[in-house]
Structure 1
Amino acid sequence: MSETIGKSFFKHITNCLGELTSDHLPRGTHSMVTTLVSNMIENTEYNGRDVTVMVLYALCLLDKLARLGYKLTGSTINLLFQTAVIVSSEFLDDEPYDARLWVNIFVSGVTDATIRTLKNSFLDHLDWDVQVSSKDFKTRCPPGFQFQTIC
């Protein structure tokens, strides 16, 4: 990801998270997003494209939660976003990483047991429906973002 594309991408993600909350974003949200993405690239075998798709997919999962009537607030959005990224990685990757690795990736200090609890609770709230339509995915993409579907 080039520096210019990267900055606009992170701004887009932060703006999307702001749209999802019913109140203000906590200070440091932009930093949390950039740190999470950096941690994913440094500590996993995911490349920039993989991480980009996972982050956009995570936004779609948060959209689903909001449509189901869950109130996403500034005080919980960072934790929910990071949990959504884990869920998206497990859905999109045939061999996802386990909770022990995510402890090193998560921006806020949590244990692997906490990550498992957060993930299961998140999935329960979605009624384990993590399917996202192509239309919903494209809605969350930044302007000019291009992706290929593989059939």
Structure 2
Amino acid sequence: MIKIKEVSTERERNDAYQIRQEVFVDEQGVSMDEEMDEHDEHAIHFVGYIDQRPVLASRLRFVDEYGKLERICVVKDERGNHYGNKIIEEMEETIKKHGYFKAKLNAQKYAEEFYKKLGYQTISGEFLDAGIPHITMIKDLSI
């Protein structure tokens, strides 16, 4: 069973960063400079554990009137277990707790259908981010 936590210790933060490096840098070829940016210091980070093993991570920032979901990733051998759904639910609850009711994300194009199933709507054309095709999506959390 997965346990998702809002990062509160240095160890948890390092675990989240380790997952991001494994997925985005090692697997997808994103440079470390692009992956780890100036927003990490002030973002809310999440990490998910199975037993004591970190298997998923994400970060959340507040930009304009949106809670912005970012850096959502699951280690390769745990994909397909619906952990992505769970971390997004956790992030959406955190957005609402902070008094925001709109969520926004830049999804990798291949994941568009996944986010649509969770109620997100595409609001942009395709664009490149770190050399990977993305689209911007939003969701009204007040419904």
Query: Under a length normalisation based on structure 2, what TM-score does the superposition of the two structures give?
Result: 0.36
Which fold has the larger relative contact order, with Cα–Cα distance below 8 Å and residues 6 or more apart in sequence?
A: 1
Q: Which has the higher helix share?
A: 1
Query: Under a length normalisation based on structure 1, what TM-score does the superposition of the two structures give?
Result: 0.35
Q: Which has the higher strand share?
A: 2
